[in-house]
Structure 1
Amino acid sequence: MSDRALVQSRFLVRMGGVGWMVYDRERKGPALIGIDVAANLTKEQAERAYRIVSGSAEELKGRSLNGLPDLRAS
């Protein structure tokens, strides 16, 4: 076995209290996308949010959880 420790991803998709969420291991709670909390989502919304938070910062700009342009980002 290798001496290197396995690195866990910061984010993961999991069931929340109500619906699905993107869990942030650093925050120890739901991930934030802008000012939106990635919780109480459908599985598809949670997977989309996961792709956003796992991507580059440029991908985050102007995005909302539903994939539509975020009017607050203008």
Structure 2
Amino acid sequence: MPEKQILTIQETVSRAKQEGMPVSEYTLRRALRCGAIPCRTVGKKYLIAWKNVVKWLLCEDGQDNAPTAPIPVPAGIRRIPE
């Protein structure tokens, strides 16, 4: 029987651990909430494609911890009080 490809959070954490890529439930939930891993929500349940989790864990998009908000650019040189 082939492995499931659409998983819940608990199933994803368990499978990641089995495959040698441990990730905590807390970290996975944060990644889902901020949009780092695409998913579907049905009621309060997250449905996650395993291939998206693997892409995220292996940083296949070339970005690790991309900023979620733009980094402010200083408006010039500011004086440091003495």
Name the TM-score, length of structure 1 as normaliser: 0.31
Task: Please tell me whether Structure 1 or Structure 2 has the larger radius of gyration of its CA atoms.
Answer: 2
Name the TM-score, length of structure 2 as normaliser: 0.29
Higher helix share: 2
Q: Which has the higher contact order (CA 8 A, sep 6+)?
A: 2
